[in-house]
Amino acid sequence: MSLLEIQGITKRFGGLVAIGDFSLNMDGGQIVALIGPNGAGKTTAFNVISGFYKANSGKVIFDGRDITNLRPDQICKLGLARTFQVVRPFQGISVLDNVMVGAYARTNDAHTARSKAEEAIEFMGMQKLANQMASGLPIAGRKRLEIARALATDPKMLLLDETMAGLRSGEAEEVIGMVRKISENGIAIFLVEHVMKVVMLLAERIVVIHHGEKIAEGLPAEVVQNQQVIDAYLGEAHVAS
């Protein structure tokens, strides 16, 4: 049984079909990338999977349970956590308190929440920043904080929405290493990413959507040679390079 089964989900906004009959299976510990042009429906797919949008049709099965109509907090408690494309930490509290907010999704005990938060902060290499106000973090720190907060929910799967956006090369390389370690710990990673270097380094499988519909799925080396993907997203220059 797959950890995540997306069965023909469709999401409409009025007459616009943002996601059309989209299906996907993922197993535990896998890293799968979802790519496509701006406006292709990638974040909409994440919003449906994580309960922020309700699908017009289709099902989302997570760890054997139908989560299609559950709220985001209920889905998070089952072990599916996410980050957001626009990072918005709680500005007026510390890094540690921000991450504890994530931990409280799975526990009401303050000691347990603090322990989970400290563990996530250490994993993300942010121990020295634990007592700093989140408002003072640069973009790279905010990105790490977002992942740490998701990790504190004790997930089985993480949805990472453009985690590398805005990072310098060295910062991105550090986060790539952390994502690999998360996967090695058995947590599945489903990521939306525009930086193809990151996709090629991390993903075991790539799924491509265009105008809300899947146009390709397969191994990275195969997908980047797919003419439909080249025409819709990558461009000939990328392949030539």
pLDDT in tens, 155-198: 999 999 999 988 899 999 999 999 999 999 999 999 999 889 89
CB atoms < 10 A from the CB of 41, how many?
25
Instruction: Indicate the domain borders of the chain.
Output: 1-26+35-78+192-241
- Contact at 8 Å (CB) between 163 and 191? yes
Query: Which pLDDT tens digit goes with each residue over 53-76?
Result: 999 999 999 999 999 999 999 999
What does the mean pLDDT of the chain come to? 93
Structure tokens at 154: 């004790």
Compute CA 230 distance to the chain's CA centroid, rounded to the nearest angstrom: 24
CATH of domain 1-26+35-78+192-241: 3.40.50.300
Distance CA 45, CA 20 (A): 10
Which ranges of the chain would DSSP assign to H, the alpha helix?
42-49, 72-77, 95-103, 110-123, 139-151, 169-184, 196-202, 220-223, 227-229, 236-240
The pLDDT of residue 85 is 86
Report how far apart, in Å, the C-alpha atoms of 125 and of each of 29, 92, 120 are. 22, 21, 9
The pLDDT of residue 238 is 54
Q: Write down the pTM of the prediction.
A: 0.93
Concatenated DSSP letters of 12-53:
EETTEEEEEEEEEEE-TT-EEEEE-STTSSHHHHHHHHTTSS
- Contact at 8 Å (CB) between 50 and 155? no
Structure tokens at 27: 């197993």
Whether the predicted pLDDT of 237 surpasses 90: no
Would you call 114 exposed, middle or buried from its count of C-beta atoms within 10 A (0-12, 13-18, 19+)?
middle
Whether the predicted pLDDT of 240 surpasses 50: no
Query: Which pLDDT tens digit goes with each residue over 82-136?
Result: 999 888 889 889 999 999 999 999 999 999 999 999 999 999 999 999 999 999 9
